[in-house]
Amino acid sequence: MAKVLRDDDIVRVAGDVYSVSGSDTNWVIVKDGDSCTLVDAGYPGDREAVLASLRAVGLGPGAVTALLVTHAHNDHIGAAGHLRTAYGVPVLMHGEEVPHARRDFLDQVSAGQVLARAWRPGVLPWAVRALRAGGTAHVPVPEPRPFPSAGPLDLPGRPVPLHTPGHTRGHCAYHLPHSGILITGDALVTAHPTSRTGGPQLLPGMFHADRPRALASLAVLEGVDAEVLLPGHGPVHHGTAKEAAATARDRAPAHT
């Protein structure tokens, strides 16, 4: 089922940085003049919404200098293949995530894990929406590439990748130092339909490939100088990365 983008789904965060809400997932547009960096790309069913969000900020898909992937779960790479094949957009990620994006293997929550927790509030409605949005579709990324070098990337916003493994082995957050923004992906979120808690938190345990490692990666986020967090799920968070990571760590025992 295709997501229809509404005006309030696009939030201008600072300058020309926009957080966009899709089908229970977010992506980020970092605009610089007539080009941009796109971080994540929604579910497969969000493809038209991704393109609409670019048009809404005055850009077309050809203006995307690169798509940065936080991790290669279906709800974050849905439009990646289309952007790569139709417009030649490079799709970049941590080297350990490249084989996952190619679908040499699939490391995301299984139907069995979801069914075992279907009794929990929010799980079944979320699962139905995820299926309709393409959560189980086969969506390998054509020609995924590792970052070309360490440190800031030569892209709009000069994003700095931060390896935050645990959710997946190659998960990365992205720091925008000049904007004071941290794009956390699924290393830290602020809400999820399957969670009973709002605010900074880890996703429930079934979503992580290695939950202890995901918990340990909060220390990476904690050391970032950022005042605004853009998560992969949930609303924009205004507050320091240090405080948000500490809150997520404190709440972590409740999310299993």
Could you read off the pLDDT of 85-130 as tens digits, one per residue? 999 999 999 999 999 999 999 988 766 676 777 778 887 887 888 8
Contact 19, 236 (CB under 8 A): yes
Banded pLDDT at 255 (limits 50, 70, 90): very low
Residue the block writes with tokens 């830290």: 188
CB atoms within 10 A of CB 153: 20
Q: What is the mean pLDDT of the chain?
A: 93
Lowest mean pLDDT segment, chosen from 59-68, 117-126, 161-170: 117-126
Looking at the DSSP assignment, which residues form a beta bridge with residue 29?
Answer: 18, 38
Could you read off the pLDDT of 227-244 as tens digits, one per residue? 999 999 999 999 999 999
What does the pLDDT read at residue 2? Answer: 76
Average the pLDDT over 18-43 and give the result. Answer: 97
- Pick the residue with more confidence: 183 or 14? 183
- Pick the residue with more confidence: 141 or 135? 141
Of 194, 178, 147, nearest to 186 (Cα)? Answer: 194
Whether the predicted model's global pTM rises above the 0.75 cut: yes
Start-end of H helices in 15-157: 47-56, 74-77, 80-87, 98-102, 111-116, 123-133
Of 20, 62, 71, 64, nearest to 38 (Cα)? Answer: 64
- Pick the residue with more confidence: 167 or 129? 167
Of 174, 196, 180, 183, nearest to 232 (Cα)? Answer: 183
What does the pLDDT read at residue 113? Answer: 73
